[in-house]
């Protein structure tokens, strides 16, 4: 993570140029579409888990009845 914070403008230009060389101009929109859908699915799953945790924390514990014989 720290690696990305210390990068300047020239490093980003080199990375973008390398991606263009590797994938070509026609494949990049497909690559970005796949990346976007992956991020969307991750956020959806994260929100579902967060909602389930909130619901679980708000539930009152049920008291079990102990039957005596």
Residue 13 included in any domain: no
Whether the predicted pLDDT of 32 surpasses 70: yes
Residue from 47, 49, 51 nearest 39 by CA? 47
Residue 33 included in any domain: yes
Residue 36 Cα distances to 4, 8, 15, 43, angstroms: 20, 25, 19, 11
Q: Is the pTM of this model over 0.85?
A: no
Residue 14 included in any domain: no
Whether the predicted pLDDT of 54 surpasses 60: yes
Give the domain range for residue 42. 27-53
Residue 1 included in any domain: no
Q: How many domains does the chain have?
A: 1
CA atoms within 13 A on the CB side of 21: 6
- 28, 20 Cβ separation under 8 angstroms: yes
CA pair distance 4, 53, nearest whole angstrom: 32
Residue 59 included in any domain: no
């Amino acid at each position: 993570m720290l690696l990305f914070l210390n990068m300047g403008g020239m490093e980003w230009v080199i990375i973008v140029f390398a991606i263009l060389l590797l994938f070509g101009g026609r494949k990049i929109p497909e690559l970005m579409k796949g990346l976007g859908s992956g991020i969307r699915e991750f956020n959806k799953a994260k929100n579902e888990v967060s909602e389930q945790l909130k619901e679980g924390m708000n539930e009152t514990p049920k008291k079990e009845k102990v039957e005596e014989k």
